[in-house]
Each structure stands twice: as structure tokens, then as C-alpha cells.
Chain A
Amino acid sequence: MQRYVSSASLRTLLGNSSFLSILLILTVLAGWSQAQLPALLGTLIDSAVSTTVSSVMILWYALAAILVQILLWLCSLLATHTSWAGTNALRSALVQHLVAQPVAFFRSHGIGELTERLEADINAVSGVFALSSAQFLRAGVVVVTVCGIVVASDGGTAAVLAVYIVAGVLIVAPTQHTNAALWEDERRADAAAFDTLEETLAAIPALQSVQAPQFAYEILVPRLTSRLETHRRASMQSQWGAIAAGIVNAAGWVLAAVIVIWRYRAGTASVGDAVALLVYVRLLNGPMTTFGTEYAALQQALAAFSRCDEIFASPTIRADRGVRLPAGALSVQLEGVTFAYPENDGFSLAGTTLSIPAGLHVAIIGRTGSGKTTLGRLIANLEQSDSGMIRIGGIPLVDVSEASLRQRVGVITQDIDVFPATLRENLVAYNASITDSAIDLQIAALGLERWYASFSGGLDTILGGGHRELTPGEAQLVAVVRVALRQPGLVILDEASAHVDPHTERLLQQATQLLTKERTTITIAHRYSTIEHADVVVVMSSGEIVEQGTPEELSSAPNSQYAQLRARELRGVL
């Protein structure tokens, strides 16, 4: 239990659960009134036997019973509201945390897994959190009230009842101890199965391409089996709680029957008292079963909490110190920057130092795995360096406000994401303050009018999701306009060499040149032309900068890596 006290998810949940106090008050009221009914019924039966019962009394009994149900109904509504208000806050907080993760985080967590966590896990919480806690509370109130009522009528019976309740809880509770871990396993197996299912469905063309359909079963079946087994194991374990509760309930009935007979013979109880006592014991069944079954649900929720906490525990990229970047082209300095991915799988930077004056065009080249993409990500603050210092416009990157950074530093990645929205929303990136005329001007300035004219619906054309699909080259064009609209002082461009046809390629090169004019530009280059027209070329190998200089300088040194790369690639690179 200790670890749940410090749970970030639990705090978020409780902090946002409106009406929690009203819910608690109503729950206490409902539990208390529920416990009054059997006594009322006992009195009625005694009156019936002695024929002193009046219709009014019966009417009151019916009304009281209806009132209890209204209270219970209100409780469940409030509990639903509270649960949703709390879990919605938790969802938003988790999403907020997720979008602040470094890119590396998504290298070890799949879409299926994260979707499952944000859905099934939190649903497990929402079903249980307020509802179960309210039920627990009501169970407690019923127990206390019942004891109170019985004490008033007969101290001895109350004492026996109290011993019974304590013993009951002591029997039921231990059966639930080991459950949290089992449910955690179950949640994990469930997410893994779902993740694999998503992956397998996406892999189908790849599986067919190499005639390996059976591999789909080989990877999926073990996950399905483990999902079945972990769920069954956890449920069976939880079921022991219900069994224990059942045994306690049965014992309670027997106990009550013996007390009733004994007291009736002794003449200290009426038939009505006897009925009331048995109904009370039955009323206690509810709380006992609650301890047994809702406790299991609560355990599942706690397991889900700790899985949410795992996400919260994963550090976000940085705290924002709010310094704004200056206007104009931005310089970039790296001093002894080191970085390794958390998986430590060999992709890293070993103490990189580099200085780029404002307005310069730098091309970074190197073989795959040389660290050039990682370098770009570090400057774009998509990953954080382990040590060393990065300065943009003279300001340490750790001090720069996120908003200013994203406004002033434009990033174009290899694979461009197109959002399922209109062309306008994709170009302005949901920034409503950019007018249509500004977009038109920018498109014209980048020489893309003819391409733009191909969108039949203009800026309102919906992209993706079965509407207008963009080719990867067109997505690149969207990204160039997107970045240009922000008027950045630094452009980081991971050049996409893939799947662009010559026509789009020409448009893209032209637009890119117009975009980067008078702006500091760092290009992770794949094209020979980019390299040739760069002011400075940086050659990387195994996470280190091995050469840098103007293209002329580097190519004139006959034994340089640059010259070798160039000699081999001259003919092939577009």
C-alpha cells in the first residue's frame, strides 16, 4: 500500500474528483437508512402477528424503502460523475506527459501498448475508483449501523455479531493480499497481446511478401495464451475472496439461526426480532462480498495506477525556463555533447563539439548509424544530451522556452506526419491566428502555386483518412510551408531521399532553397547537390565529427573521408 500513497496518478485523480464530499455524505446516508429497514420490517411482522399493524405503518415502510433506492440511485450517478471527472483529468495529464517525452520513449513503447494503457487501464480505474470506494464506505456504514441497532436491542447478540464481523474481515482480507501483482501481470499481458495484434495486422503485407504467414501465428498465439492464463490466474485468486466471503456469510446465517432459536426459547426475542436478525445477517452479506469482490476490482485499479505511474515516472524532456530566442538567424554551438539512447544499443554521440555561426548552411553527412540524425534531434531538443552544452542564438538550450523554441526553430523530419484534418490546419498547425492570405502569400513565395492549385477544395481540402492522400513528396512540401509560415531563425532538415519523384523533387529543392535563404540551416544530407552548395560540410562517423570544412577544402584533401564518400557516391546520389 505504501507506494500508492505517493502515486502521481492517484493524486491527479483525487485532486480532480468534483462532488467527492457530497458523494461521501450521500453514501453514508444511504448506508444508514438501508440498515434501518430490517428493524422496521421486524416491528411490522410483530405487529402483524399481534394484529396491531396499521396501513399507515405499512405505507411508511414502503416509502422508506423507496427513499433508500432514490438515495442509492443518486449515489451511483454521483459516483459515475466523480469517476469520470477524475479519470478524465488523469487521461489529460497522461497525454500531456506523453507528448513531452523524448523520441527515445517511443522507441520502446508501441502504439498498441500505449493506446491500451490510456484506454483499458484508465477504464479499469474509472469503473472502480469512485464506485468501489463508495461501496466500501457504504458497506462500512451498514456494518456500524447494524451493530448499533442490535446493541440497542440486545447487547449479547451485538457482541457475537461484532466478533463475527471482525473474524469475517480477518478471513476475507488475507485471500486478497497477493492479488495486486497478479492483476498487474494481467494488465501487462493484455497490453502485450493487444500490441502484438496491432503489429501483426500491420505486418500482413510484409508477411505475405516473404511467404511467411505462419509467422503471424507464431508471434500471436503465445501472447493470446499468456493473456488467457494470466487473466484466469488473477481471477481465480480473486475468486477466493468471494469464496471466503461466501463461507463467512454462510457461517453468519448459521450463527444467527442458533441465536434466534436460543433467544426465542428463552423468550427474549419475538418472531419479528428473529426475522430482523436474519435479514441483518443477510444485509451484512453485501459488505462481506464487497470486501471480497470489490476489493479485487480495487486491486485491478491499483495495478492500473502503478502502470500509469510508470508513464509518469518516465522523465519528460525538460523543465521550461522561459527564455525567449532572439530574432533573426540563430547561431548554434555544441560543446562536448554526449548522448546514448537508454537501451544503450550502440547509437550514441561521444563528445561532439561544433560551432555554426548565424545564417550559415551546414550539411552533415555520414553513413547510416554515424549519429547524424541523433545530432539533429539533440539540437531540436527532441532528445536531451547526457552531458555537454548546446546553445542556440547564444542561449543554453535548457533555458529556452518550449514555445519560443518551436516558433523559432523549424524541424523537417524524414517521415512527415500529416494530420487527419484540412490542408489549412495542416499548414498552420492548428494556429488560427494565421490568415488564409498569409498562407497564399507564403505558398507563392515558395513557388508552389501550381502544386497548391491541384487541391480541388483549396485550403479546406481534407487530407488523409480516405480523402486526399498525399505522396511522401507532397507531405514534405506541406512540411516546408508549415515551417516557412513560422518564420524560423534556424531550420533543421533531415533530408528525405526516399520515394520522391523527380518532378516533386524539383519543387521540393526549390522550396527548400527559398525557405533556408538567410536562415541558419542544418541539413542531414543525402543529396549531393545539398552537400555541394553547403557553406560547411561536417562528416560524421561512429558518433564523432571526423572532418569539417567547406566542400572545396574537403574535396581538395585527397585522403579525406569526404573525398572517399564523394568519389564513391558521385554517380549515384541524386
Chain B
Amino acid sequence: MKISTPQFTAAMIRLSPLPFVSYSLARIVTFFAPFGVLLIEQEFFNAFGIPVQRTTVWWFVAAYAAVSLVRLGCLLLECWTNITFRYRAMGTLQLNTVASALDRPGAAASPVQPLEGLNRLRDDAGEVADFPLWLPEVVGTSIAASSAFIVMWQVDAPLSLLAMMPLLLQGMAALAFWRVYLYYRYAEGKLDDAYSVLIGTIVGKAQSIRILALQSVFVSKVKALGTQRRRNALAKTAYEQLSTSNMVDVSVAISSALCLWYAVPEVAALRIGVGDLLVFFSGLSIVASLPQTWATFIGDYAQQRVSIERLTDALPQRPAALITPRGWWLSPSQRRAQRVPFEPLAQLQVRGVSYLHADGRGITDVSLNITRGSFTVVTGHIGSGKSTLLDLCAGLLDPAAGDFVWNTQRCHSLRGAPVAAVAQLPFLLSASLRENICFGSNGGALPAVITSSMLTEDIAQMPAGLDTIVGPRGVRLSGGQRQRVALARALLVQSELLIIDDVSSALDSATEARILQNLRQHQSRTILASSTRPAIVEAADTIIVVADGRVVGTGTLTELLRTNTTMQELWSAIQRPEAPRAG
């Protein structure tokens, strides 16, 4: 499903119609102003040679001042409305991209590479938001140009046609040069993308670059790309200038010369006044800007399609969602997650669920039961599908086959179910510790969850306590602290099922044991965890052994150790991980 450029543009105009209409009016007036000046100058210079009344002079001056004042007023209005329109549209596109990502299962592969997607969200969103503002430009120039031509025609029809000849040629040449220019502009977009990715790599992997002494490697990559970008920019500018200002001015000069050559006998015979001659000089400039504006518009129209496609790539299912009006600039957004009513959990059945990632990892035909108050641990080697199974139960993936039964209610996916999950790699925002735990909720139970997740001591050590800013991605915290923050966040949510993906991986075992103890204090809390740590596997009510994406055993540790070979193998591996000493 695609969305056409006119549809898209119309939707963007509907986002903030008032700024758009005011901008358009102001812009058209601005384009019309030179035409007004032209009329005034025509009368003014035609008056030379005949006795001019003193009052007439002041009329000219007054008319000119009035035109100027209106134009200046429009300039202010233009600026305000232009920015308001563009930034509202840009913000809406960006918010909607986030919104659509929130509507997708978060653990599924994103349709667009993150860094590239980000670059698109800036450049293409800017490009797209700018486009509707070209419409008044085209309308304004066209009206001004036709009016100027009519005045020229009235002065001298053959001369006006003669003067148009160089302009026509110029218009054709401009379009040809514009094509070449577009090629370089497209190439520029590609190079900019490559540059973003490179800079993102350098900034994101700065520590490794230092450790491996790769500074010069990456600096020379930056330099090489810089040279490429410079060459491209040079070619782009050359053709851009040829198709716009320079050619326009050259053709105006040629046309002016033609006019002079034609007009000499007419002026001498007083059939054409000096003011009329000036009408030609000024009028030509106005008309000459027409092909350029149209060429830019046509080029931008093509570019617009590309940009819209690049933006909607990120939301292939519902591209129209990109332009959902939000009015975010009006008041704080009060959107709440639309919760499908889920009853308190008594039993969750997972029935024959499958999901495969693009690289072939995943799970096939997995079934299991989780009852209220139970502690279920999924275990298995890495790549066995533990995380995929947990992501499915957390509603972060939609199964390709199979379904869930929540008590008695059958559902295809658990998206939106009252489940709270702690990921293997916790994500922290560059905000305060408090915000990172609350994640927008009011945090009434904050003290309790801080205790449960063993953060009390850590917070006491921080000078700003809960208001400590944790830095980008929480870098100022240790791996274990980050995991405990993510746990606290999940505990704060009123959930029916708590899912923990290998959370203790960065915790020392004392902390791990205490947390486990805290979690199990509540009899009614239902927990589904994945782990290969003996302490956790031992504590489980039910263990689910996964291998190669399938469940190969379910039961208590004692049962499994007696009957299940995979479990026996795994258990000995995690109990005695010691490799034989080399040599």
C-alpha cells in the first residue's frame, strides 16, 4: 500500500491549515510586490520629459512606501508561519514514526537500519515538511510573471514576444541542467547517509577505537569520504547555479540588449517612454524566474516521492499513519496505552507457538503452561530460543503460528497484555534514575521496588540519590545496576506476569540470591525467567528445557536430571564450567 504525493501533501496541509494559508497569502503578496514597483516606476519614468506635478511625485513616493510596508509585514508573517508549519509537520512525522514503532512487536527486526532510519527521520522529514510551502511559491511566481507579461504586451506586443525568446531558450537549458543537478543531489543524500553511519560508528565504538589504536584508520575514512562529498558538492553547485540564477541573469541581459536594440527608434519617436523600457527590464527578471521556480518545483516533487517512500519504509503496514494529526504543540499529549481488558491471570497456556528470526534462530511449535504464583525457568544453551520464547510471552513478538490462552480467553498475541518484562540487555534513558525506574508512571510504590531490586545501597552512595542522571544509555551505572534498574521498573508496573530474561547475568550471586528471595516473597506473583545459573534453576517450580528451538523437557530439576539427557548435559556444564587446562 502506497500513499501518493498529493494525498500526503494535502494531509500535511491539514495538520496546520492556518499557518499554511497565512504563509501562502503572504508569499503571494511578496511575489506580487515587485510587480507593483514595476508599475510605479513605469509611470514615474514615463513622466520624465513632461512637466511633473509636485503632488504627482508624492503620490509615487507614497505608493512605493505603501507597497514596501505591506511587503515587509508579509516578510514577518512569512517567517513565523513558515517555521510553525514546517516544525509542526516535521515533529508530527517523527512522533508518528515513534508511534508506529510502538505499535509493532518491539523485538521483531526493524524494517530500516536504526542509524539510517534516524538520518531519514531528520533529512527526509525536513524535506517533506518543506514541500507544501512550494505551492504558494509556484502560484505567486506564475501570477506575477503573467501580470508582468500582460503589461509588457500592452506596451508593445512584438517586443514582448521578441524579449521572450532568450528566456524560452534559457528555460529549456535550465531544465536540462536541472536533471544533472538532481543526479548530484541524489548522490549527496547517499553520501550523507554514509557519513552518518561512519560518525555513528566512531562515536558509538569510541572506546574500542582507542583500545585498538584505530584512530588513524577512522580519521582517514572520514577524510576520504570528505573528499568524495566535496567533489560531489562542487558538481552539484555548478549545475544548480547554471540552471538557476546565473542563466536567468544572462538571459535577462540578452533580452534587455534585444529590447534596447529594438526600442531605439520607438523611444526616439516617443512611441515608447523610458518608463516603458524599464518595464521590460524589470518585467523580464520577474518572468525569467518562472522556469526556475517550476523546475525546482518539479524536481522537488520527484524528490518528495522518494522522501515519502524512505519515511514510510519504516512503517510498511500503514503508511498513512505517518500523517496522523496529533496536535502535539497544543497541550501535553495525554495518550494512554489502549489496554485490551485482560482478567487477573489464573493460567496462561502457550499453544504450539512458532517464531523464526531472519537469521534462522527462533522457536518451533512450543507449548507450555504457566499457573498463577508459579516460578517457571526456561533453560538451554545460547541460541536455543530462550529469548525468543520469552519475547513472545512478553508480547514483544507476534507468533508466526500458534496462540495463547489467557485463563479462558484465546488470543493470537500477548501485545498489550498486563505483562512486565526485563530484557537481557536493559535499556536506560539519559535521564534521572527516578525517571528510568518510573518510566512515566507516578511511582507510588517506588520505595518498595527499590528495596526489592536491591538498589537501596547503590542509591545511598550516589550524591544526588534518585535524581542522579545516568548518562546516555545509563553508562554511568554498572551493568549490574542497570539490570536492577530495569527490574525495578518492571516491578513498579501492575502486571499479572513478570518475565525476566537472564537478568542475573551481570549480578554477583549474593545480590542475585537476595533478589530471588524478594521476588518470591509474594505468593501470587507469577514469574517466567530464563537462566543458566544453578541457583535460579534450582529455585524453579517448573523447568522448561529448550534445545534448537523446541521444548525437550518439562518438570522439576530432580525429575529432569533423572530422565532428560539435555538437562543432565547442561547441568554438568553449568555446575563445572572449568575447561581442561591447556598444555
Closest partner residue, chain B, to A212 (CB atom): B439
Instruction: Determine if B486 is an interface residue (Cβ-Cβ < 8 Å).
Output: yes
| A341 near B257: Cβ-Cβ < 8 Å | no
The segment from A156-164, A174-182, A344-352 that touches chain B is A344-352
Encode B329-358 as 1/0 by CB contact (under 8 A) with A.
100110111010000000000000000001
Instruction: Determine if A25 is an interface residue (Cβ-Cβ < 8 Å).
Output: no
Within 8 A of A (CB), among B457-491: 458, 461-464, 468-469, 471-473, 475-476, 478-481, 486, 489-490
Can you name 15 A-B pairs with beta carbons within 8 Å? A45-B274, A84-B229, A119-B196, A207-B439, A217-B335, A232-B80, A235-B79, A254-B61, A368-B479, A413-B208, A499-B382, A501-B382, A501-B532, A510-B580, A572-B533
| B510 near A568: Cβ-Cβ < 8 Å | yes
Instruction: Determine if B233 is an interface residue (Cβ-Cβ < 8 Å).
Output: yes
CA distance A335 to B579 in the complex (A): 36
- In the bound complex, residues from chain B placing their C-beta under 8 Å from that of A100 are 210, 215
Within 8 A of B (CB), among A414-446: 414, 416-417, 419-420, 429-430
Contact for A257 among B44, B329, B534, CB less than 8 A: B44
Within 8 A of A (CB), among B171-187: none
| B490 near A210: Cβ-Cβ < 8 Å | yes
Top 9 closest pairs, chain A to chain B, by CB: A572-B509, A501-B382, A215-B440, A65-B253, A205-B106, A88-B226, A406-B213, A502-B573, A250-B68
CA distance A211 to B421 in the complex (A): 9
Closest partner residue, chain A, to B104 (CB atom): A204
- In the bound complex, residues from chain B placing their C-beta under 8 Å from that of A416 are 208
| B382 near A115: Cβ-Cβ < 8 Å | no
Within 8 A of B (CB), among A171-213: 194-195, 197-213
CB distance from A228 to the nearest CB of B (A): 4
| B264 near A51: Cβ-Cβ < 8 Å | yes
Instruction: Determine if A253 is an interface residue (Cβ-Cβ < 8 Å).
Output: yes
Within 8 A of B (CB), among A440-480: 447, 465-466, 469, 471, 473
- In the bound complex, residues from chain B placing their C-beta under 8 Å from that of A198 are 118
Encode A518-531 as 1/0 by CB contact (under 8 A) with B.
00000000110100
CA distance A477 to B439 in the complex (A): 36
CB distance from B77 to the nearest CB of A (A): 10
CB distance from B159 to the nearest CB of A (A): 13
CA distance A346 to B102 in the complex (A): 35
The segment from B81-89, B141-149, B315-323, B520-528 that touches chain A is B81-89
Instruction: Determine if B278 is an interface residue (Cβ-Cβ < 8 Å).
Output: yes
| B508 near A406: Cβ-Cβ < 8 Å | no
| A205 near B427: Cβ-Cβ < 8 Å | yes
| B461 near A369: Cβ-Cβ < 8 Å | yes
Instruction: Determine if A144 is an interface residue (Cβ-Cβ < 8 Å).
Output: no
- In the bound complex, residues from chain A placing their C-beta under 8 Å from that of B578 are 509, 529
Contact for A211 among B267, B359, B424, B493, CB less than 8 A: B493
| B574 near A513: Cβ-Cβ < 8 Å | no
Instruction: Determine if A53 is an interface residue (Cβ-Cβ < 8 Å).
Output: yes
CA distance A347 to B227 in the complex (A): 43
| A430 near B214: Cβ-Cβ < 8 Å | yes
The segment from A219-227, A297-305, A325-333, A354-362 that touches chain B is A219-227
Closest partner residue, chain A, to B514 (CB atom): A568
- In the bound complex, residues from chain B placing their C-beta under 8 Å from that of A21 are none
CB distance from A66 to the nearest CB of B (A): 5
| Given A48-B264, A247-B72, A210 contacting B509 (CB threshold 8 A) | no
CA distance A215 to B71 in the complex (A): 45
| A275 near B333: Cβ-Cβ < 8 Å | no
Closest partner residue, chain B, to A233 (CB atom): B83
Closest partner residue, chain B, to A255 (CB atom): B61
| B423 near A205: Cβ-Cβ < 8 Å | yes
Instruction: Determine if B155 is an interface residue (Cβ-Cβ < 8 Å).
Output: no
Instruction: Determine if A231 is an interface residue (Cβ-Cβ < 8 Å).
Output: yes
Number of interface residues of B (CB under 8 A): 175
CA distance A542 to B506 in the complex (A): 18
CA distance A218 to B421 in the complex (A): 21
| A62 near B253: Cβ-Cβ < 8 Å | yes
Within 8 A of B (CB), among A109-126: 109-115, 118-120
| B335 near A572: Cβ-Cβ < 8 Å | no
| Given A62-B253, A73-B242, A369-B461, A228 contacting B84 (CB threshold 8 A) | yes
Extra contacts, 19 of them, besides A69-B247, A411-B211 (Cβ < 8 A), are A48-B260, A61-B260, A62-B256, A65-B249, A65-B253, A66-B250, A81-B230, A103-B207, A201-B114, A202-B473, A206-B427, A218-B333, A221-B328, A250-B69, A257-B64, A317-B210, A406-B212, A497-B505, A504-B382
- In the bound complex, residues from chain B placing their C-beta under 8 Å from that of A81 are 230, 234
Instruction: Determine if A24 is an interface residue (Cβ-Cβ < 8 Å).
Output: no
Instruction: Determine if A145 is an interface residue (Cβ-Cβ < 8 Å).
Output: no
Instruction: Determine if A77 is an interface residue (Cβ-Cβ < 8 Å).
Output: yes
Instruction: Determine if A11 is an interface residue (Cβ-Cβ < 8 Å).
Output: no
Instruction: Determine if A167 is an interface residue (Cβ-Cβ < 8 Å).
Output: no
- In the bound complex, residues from chain B placing their C-beta under 8 Å from that of A205 are 106-107, 396, 423, 427
Instruction: Determine if A514 is an interface residue (Cβ-Cβ < 8 Å).
Output: yes
CA distance A107 to B290 in the complex (A): 53
| B261 near A513: Cβ-Cβ < 8 Å | no
CA distance A48 to B277 in the complex (A): 11
Within 8 A of B (CB), among A60-86: 61-62, 65-66, 68-70, 72-73, 76-77, 80-81, 84-85
Encode B192-220 as 1/0 by CB contact (under 8 A) with A.
10011001111111111111111101110
| A571 near B508: Cβ-Cβ < 8 Å | no
Instruction: Determine if B444 is an interface residue (Cβ-Cβ < 8 Å).
Output: no
| A49 near B329: Cβ-Cβ < 8 Å | no
The segment from A90-98, A134-142, A544-552 that touches chain B is A90-98
Instruction: Determine if A143 is an interface residue (Cβ-Cβ < 8 Å).
Output: no
CB distance from A364 to the nearest CB of B (A): 13
CB distance from A332 to the nearest CB of B (A): 17
CA distance A80 to B229 in the complex (A): 11
The segment from A2-10, A147-155, A236-244, A391-399 that touches chain B is A236-244
CB distance from A420 to the nearest CB of B (A): 7
Contact for A210 among B196, B230, B489, CB less than 8 A: B489
Within 8 A of A (CB), among B230-283: 230, 233-234, 237-238, 241-242, 245-247, 249-250, 253-254, 256-257, 260-261, 263-265, 267-268, 274, 277-278, 281
CB distance from B13 to the nearest CB of A (A): 18
| A502 near B381: Cβ-Cβ < 8 Å | yes
Closest partner residue, chain B, to A410 (CB atom): B211
| B422 near A209: Cβ-Cβ < 8 Å | yes
| Given A55-B261, A497-B505, A111 contacting B204 (CB threshold 8 A) | yes
- In the bound complex, residues from chain A placing their C-beta under 8 Å from that of B238 are 73, 77
- In the bound complex, residues from chain A placing their C-beta under 8 Å from that of B206 are 98-99, 101, 103, 106
| Given A98-B202, A211-B416, A343-B476, A500 contacting B382 (CB threshold 8 A) | yes
Instruction: Determine if A274 is an interface residue (Cβ-Cβ < 8 Å).
Output: yes
| Given A81-B230, A380-B211, A345 contacting B463 (CB threshold 8 A) | yes
CB distance from B494 to the nearest CB of A (A): 9
| B337 near A73: Cβ-Cβ < 8 Å | no
Contact for A215 among B195, B439, B577, CB less than 8 A: B439
CA distance A348 to B60 in the complex (A): 77
| A206 near B577: Cβ-Cβ < 8 Å | no
| Given A95-B222, A257-B57, A502-B532, A197 contacting B83 (CB threshold 8 A) | no
Interface-centre pick from B107, B464, B505 (highest chain A CB count, 10 A):
B505
CB distance from B51 to the nearest CB of A (A): 9
CA distance A367 to B481 in the complex (A): 11
Contact for B200 among A88, A115, A257, CB less than 8 A: A115
Instruction: Determine if B117 is an interface residue (Cβ-Cβ < 8 Å).
Output: yes
| B79 near A236: Cβ-Cβ < 8 Å | yes
| A204 near B102: Cβ-Cβ < 8 Å | yes
Instruction: Determine if B95 is an interface residue (Cβ-Cβ < 8 Å).
Output: yes
Within 8 A of B (CB), among A248-274: 249-250, 253-254, 257-258, 261, 264, 271, 274
- In the bound complex, residues from chain B placing their C-beta under 8 Å from that of A571 are 509, 534-535
Encode A556-569 as 1/0 by CB contact (under 8 A) with B.
00000000010011
| A261 near B57: Cβ-Cβ < 8 Å | yes
